Amino acid sequence: MRALVQRVTAAAVRIEGEVVGEIGPGLMILVCAMAGDTDDKPAQLAAKIAKLRIFKDEAGKINRSLADVGGAALVVSQFTLAADTSRGNRPGFSQAAPPAEGERLYQAFKAEMAALGIPVQSGRFGADMAVSLVNDGPVTIWLEV
């Protein structure tokens, strides 16, 4: 699984103008299941993200995790993270998991984050979404497990 994680002061996802997920301080997580991902990947990715020390401590150093600061997560499915741009100018997405498998792993990832005590909001798998966020820092991290 792949994820693009952004530390945010606020983030929201809308579908047809309606807010379906919204958070204050925390992480905006774009997530993509890859072809061949196994059932253990959602838990591995969730644990990594929940413990990722990218929030400031009392001294202003980046030393605290999402769990430490009590932040929330806005999780949005993003199959385009599987883009292969090695040939030509049109990205290929054949490395992404098939839709049914991708949705299953996406739902498992959200459940794993919640099981770690992280408040989770989300978009809707496969929907055309409008995502807005205020990147804090900015801090943006690419992860793959």
Please identify which residue in the block is written with the tokens 């992280």. Answer: 118
Q: Which amino acid is at 4?
A: L
Q: How many residues does the chain have?
A: 145
Task: Flag whether 32 is in a domain.
Answer: yes
| Gyration radius from the chain CA atoms | 15
| % of the chain residues with pLDDT over 70 | 100
CA neighbor of 68 nearest in space, from 116, 28, 30, 105: 116
d(CA 107, CA 102): 9
Provide the pLDDT for residue 123.
95
* Structure confidence by residue, pLDDT tens digits, 30-41: 999 999 999 999
Q: What is the pLDDT of residues 5-39, one digit of tens each?
A: 999 999 999 999 999 999 999 999 999 999 999 99
φ/ψ of residue 7, rounded to 5: -75, 130
- Which domain does 18 fall in, by range? 2-85+92-135
Position 143 in a domain:
no
pLDDT of residue 65: 98
Is 142 within the bounds of a domain? no
For 69, counting Cβ atoms within 10 Å of its Cβ (0-12 exposed, 13-18 middle, 19+ buried), the class is middle
Residues 87-96: tens digit of each pLDDT: 999 999 999 9
Q: The domain spanning residue 20 has which CATH number?
A: 3.50.80.10
Q: What is the pTM of this model?
A: 0.96
Report if residue 28 sits inside a domain: yes
Token output for 103 = 């949705």
Give domain status of residue 140, yes or no.
no
Q: What is the domain count for the chain?
A: 1
pLDDT digits (tens, 9 = 90+) for 102-126: 999 999 999 999 999 999 999 999 9
Residue 144 lies in a domain: no
How many Å separate Cα 120 from the centre of its chain? 10
With respect to residue 70, please indicate whether it lies within any of the assigned structural domains.
yes
Catalytic machinery residues: 78-80
| Tokens read off for 96 | 């992404």
60 in a domain, yes or no? yes
